[in-house]
Amino acid sequence: MSLASYQTAPPRGNNVKNLSTLRFTWSQGRDDLVSEKPRNPLLTIDIIIEVGDRGIVLIERKNFPLGWALPGGFVDYGESLETAALREAKEETSLNVQLVEQFYTYSDPARDPRRHTVSTVFIATAEGTPRGADDAKVAELFRENQLPSPVVFDHSRILADYFRFKKTGQRPKP
């Protein structure tokens, strides 16, 4: 859609207080109020850590949503995706990892029940035994046929895509 015009407008309704808004009229005639403060998805990373032929690392979360997940977290301002992946892997699993490749980016607005996030997933390798730390209660190794339950966020989909990729070489499609 192309932006046809905009003008300053007062907030509509009683549930919007003290917000400065802009009224946008789209070329299709849609008239919307948009906050001047951007509301964008938050950027995250997740890491599929392969530990030899022993399996991949999943963490049991201390915080909501409770369950099992890939190690990962939010990218800090001024931090690259790669640096965030290395930091989160160390914080949550106590492992020093080597990033192998960027696997895929997942952006379904419903992927995280807390807020809209976009996650770039990395495949990494490590040696040693994972230990849960930071916001991970535990970190353990799992094989495809032994995954724990429940797996939270969209990590079941990510893991299915990963195991399919390992067998066929086919990456997920948009």
- DSSP-assigned states of every residue in 10-45: PPPSTT--S--EEEEEETTS-EEEEESS---PEEEE
Rounded CA-CA distance 66/72 in Å is 14
Q: Give the angle 90-92-98 at the CA atoms, nearest 5°.
A: 35
Looking at per-residue pLDDT, the higher value among 61 and 39 belongs to 61
Q: Which CATH number fits domain 42-168: 3.30.420.10, 3.90.79.10, 3.40.50.620, 3.40.50.150?
A: 3.90.79.10
pLDDT tens-digit map of 84-125: 999 999 999 999 999 999 999 999 999 999 999 999 999 999
Query: What is residue 29's predicted lDDT score, i.e. its pLDDT?
Result: 52
Query: What is residue 8's predicted lDDT score, i.e. its pLDDT?
Result: 42
Q: What is the average pLDDT across 162-169?
A: 98
pLDDT tens-digit map of 2-29: 333 334 444 444 444 443 444 444 444 5
- The ranges of the chain annotated as CATH 3.90.79.10 are 42-168
Mean pLDDT of the chain, nearest integer: 86
Task: Classify residue 111 by its DSSP letter.
Answer: S
pTM: 0.80
Q: What is the average pLDDT across 30-51?
A: 82
Model confidence at 37, pLDDT cuts 50, 70, 90, reads: confident
% of the chain beyond a pLDDT of 90: 78
Task: Classify residue 131 by its DSSP letter.
Answer: -
Rounded CA-CA distance 24/6 in Å is 5
Looking at per-residue pLDDT, the higher value among 73 and 23 belongs to 73
